[in-house]
Structure 1
Amino acid sequence: MVLSALKMISSLRISPTCFNNSICRLVIPTSSKFKSTVYLPTSFVRGITTDIQQKDYPYFYRVLDSLPENRSLAFAYGSGVFKQAGRAWTKNSMSDFIIATDNPKEWHAENMRINPSHYPPTIRALGPSVVSHLQCNYGAKIYFNTLIPFEDGMIKYGVLSTEHLLQDLSDWSTLYVSGRLHKPVNILERDRDLPELKTALIKNLDSALHTAMLCLPESFTEKELYLVLTGLSYSGDLRMLVGEDKNKVENIVSAQMELFKGLYMDRLENMADSVQISSDKIVQNKDLKAICKHMDNLPVNLKTLLSKELSSEKSKGEIDQSINACVSQIVQRSSTPQAVKGLVSAGPIKATKYSLAKLKKMFKSLK
């Protein structure tokens, strides 16, 4: 049945008036650097402005002000931005950012000029051409500068090309950045002259929900849905075996339920023909028609791998297990070489400090 189904497919302020609408407009400070007006669901914005947030918006924008322009997308994410269960912000907490740019070589050249200390001496000596090549051709096609002191905290930022970002959002080519965007983030800038970017961001969330629905049983809770959605980008990640908090997925979801609701509840309600939502559980149809619809909305890379997986002699035809295997394969292929690349881009001193901090976090979660 599954094979038959597969053949059928392939300082920021909030305007007070926004709460009257389903889509909220965030008011961007008047600066040439802020070329985007960001649109987010009202419930998502309400969540961001509560104590779920670790740092204030002006801090995030001061970080961006210190970096080169020419950004098509910029967002902040992670435990230094949003609270996670059992974790509080300290001066050693790191705020993580991802920045997309149309021209990585030019961006790194300018960043090396204004922020040379962000790069280790060896990388700095090699120049922006080598950094751009390293970024665009290895691992998840993203380059990170980490453990950068900024005011009373620390920052880490990753840079990727707009082309590779669109690819990952639409096709799940690496699930590295697209996976982070399955979870709540603070989108700080988005280039409105790139309508395909907005389309790709929406498609990425839709793809995640369809994937999760195929992995879940007929009846499940809202929290179980968010746990599956969050876990997609960690499946197959080497860091989850060594160097990450073993309760990371649970910690993210437990502290950010309202934010997840803002991202996915409207999408879930749009599946009313096959999904029934009550106060304590969600029930979905698992018939052939529903399976076909979900599979038809999977991203291209996952769909291709799934076809091979289900056609192999080893396959037991279990759709949830096959999807988990394929998602893990995508994540592992990009995250493992990306981890190695991170050791090079950070330099030996920072790489050691970063690895030790991750190991400390992992051992603490095992107690």
Structure 2
Amino acid sequence: MHWSLRGKSTRHIKQKPSVPGAPKIDKFLYPQDMYVYVTLSSVRLFCDTRSPLTEKFQYILSLFPQDLVFAFSYGSGAFQQHGHKSTEENVVDLILVVEDAEAFHELNLERNWKHYSSLKYLGPHTLASFQEKWGARVYFNTLVPYKHGLLKYGVVSSSAIIADLLDWEWMYISGRLHKPVMPLVLPDANHPIRSALKHNLQNAMHTALLLLPDNFQEENLYQTLAGLSYSGDFRMSFGEDRNKVKNIVRPQIERFRNLYASFWPGLAAYAEFNSTTGRCEQDTSPAARIYHLNLLPKKIQQTIVHEWNRNGRWQDVEDVFRAAAHDTECPELVKEAVQKTVKASSWTQSLKGIPTAGFIKSIRYGFSKINKMWKSLQKTHGES
């Protein structure tokens, strides 16, 4: 069934000119205090710069096998967050995307034997199987020392990250990419990861709008977008900074704005953003909700249908979405679906992290997270 809604007039954000032709991926490297953008059907994924990567990140990349499909840094080691004086003393978090996990681990074991826990003695085939069959399909090496400090890097196959970006199968790597990241290596122009990155941001916008009221501030939108991947994550109750989402968003308003600006014209019939006042207004009618529900990622849609039918009845997707769109609890239904997805992957990936990091590193990493949470609680208490 086709659903339509007569659109309201809207003010569009000015679009910056696109960047013609991207360089080859081995030269597509960027500095710590900037980030890049690529154009995918006029959708900006990052922000513009052609400056070379800082010496620190050049060195980090040189540690690994060079046949990476996509690589990026995220978190407080890439961008300064509220409450951190700089990025220099923070652990650098990386995601390395590869085509062949076993081949990567074989080469990486030759280069970086000490990065791995005792699982390395089982060989690259077992490491790849453990990566591809458990948790969120990511293999992390944690608290790896290098000359500038500590690294934590995750290895994921291109097929797994595409499934997560398109369908939110685990909402793990996809969630990290709802926020500004520092790309270190970009995929080839025709690689399917490119379009999957765009769809992931679209997924996030439709989800966030279903969770928000008819009027809200720009910062509320970005906090909702940034918070999607933490919703349901057990670590937010035990072992994470309680102010994490606010700390991410507030110093990076401009980066969030650039990341999502190009989606507003496509939402003109349902939502508008006034860049002068920072106010957002949207239609929250059943027809608008159905529009967003139909464009949610597959895993979230499936979870919504499953939860709706828990009382023993069976309604198909179309009937569920029609009923949910008219229900005042629609935002809560979407929120619970996101929480369920995140909760499952956060538990399984955390359990997976014990053997991949090793027992000692797992304890150290856990204590560092608890210390962050304790400091944030003390700060919150002091401000109240």
Match of 2:107 in 1: 110
Preserved contact between residue 272 and residue 280 of structure 2 (Cα < 8 Å): yes
Give the RMSD, CA atoms, in angstroms: 2.9
Match of 1:135 in 2: 131
Instruction: Quote the offset at 1:269 in angstroms.
Output: 3.6
Distance 1:20 1:329, change over 3 A: closer
- Taking structure 1 as the reference length, the TM-score comes to 0.86
Moved more, 57-66 or 335-344: 57-66
1:45 to 38, 44, 47: 47
Q: Which runs of 5+ in 2 are unaligned?
A: 4-14, 31-35, 313-323, 379-384
Match of 2:331 in 1: 320
Match of 1:223 in 2: 219
Pairing 1:338-357 to 2, within 5 Å after superposition: 338-357=349-368
Instruction: Quote the offset at 1:61 in angstroms.
Output: 2.9
Match of 1:16 in 2: none
Match of 2:11 in 1: none
Percent sequence identity is 35
The residue type equivalent to 1:179 in the other structure is G
1:81 to 78, 85, 90: 78
Question: 2-side partners of 1:90 and 1:32: how far apart?
Answer: 22
Preserved contact between residue 26 and residue 38 of structure 1 (Cα < 8 Å): no
Distance 1:317 1:110, change over 3 A: same
Match of 1:63 in 2: 60
The residue type equivalent to 1:69 in the other structure is Q
Secondary structure of the residue that 2:76 maps to in structure 1?
Answer: coil
- Taking structure 2 as the reference length, the TM-score comes to 0.82
Secondary structure of the residue that 1:45 maps to in structure 2?
Answer: coil
Preserved contact between residue 98 and residue 104 of structure 2 (Cα < 8 Å): yes
Match of 2:303 in 1: 305
Question: 2-side partners of 1:107 and 1:210: how far apart?
Answer: 35
Pairing 1:147-296 to 2, within 5 Å after superposition: 147-192=143-188, 194-278=190-274, 279-296=277-294
Preserved contact between residue 37 and residue 47 of structure 2 (Cα < 8 Å): no
Preserved contact between residue 139 and residue 334 of structure 1 (Cα < 8 Å): yes
Distance 1:47 1:213, change over 3 A: farther
Preserved contact between residue 24 and residue 42 of structure 1 (Cα < 8 Å): no
Instruction: Quote the offset at 1:350 in angstroms.
Output: 1.3
Moved more, 342-351 or 167-176: 342-351
Moved more, 348-357 or 110-119: 348-357
Preserved contact between residue 74 and residue 93 of structure 2 (Cα < 8 Å): yes
Q: Which runs of 5+ in 1 are unaligned?
A: 7-18, 50-54
Question: 2-side partners of 1:141 and 1:307: how far apart?
Answer: 25
Distance 1:202 1:362, change over 3 A: same
Counterpart check, 1:333 vs 2:344? yes
The residue type equivalent to 2:80 in the other structure is K
Distance 1:319 1:58, change over 3 A: farther
Preserved contact between residue 304 and residue 334 of structure 2 (Cα < 8 Å): yes
Instruction: Quote the offset at 1:260 in angstroms.
Output: 0.2
Preserved contact between residue 25 and residue 38 of structure 1 (Cα < 8 Å): no
Question: 1-side partners of 2:179 and 2:107: how far apart?
Answer: 31
The residue type equivalent to 2:97 in the other structure is A
Distance 1:38 1:71, change over 3 A: farther
Distance 1:42 1:310, change over 3 A: closer
Question: 2-side partners of 1:296 and 1:347: how far apart?
Answer: 43
Aligned length: 344
Instruction: Quote the offset at 1:148 in angstroms.
Output: 1.3
Distance 1:20 1:298, change over 3 A: closer
Distance 1:322 1:30, change over 3 A: closer
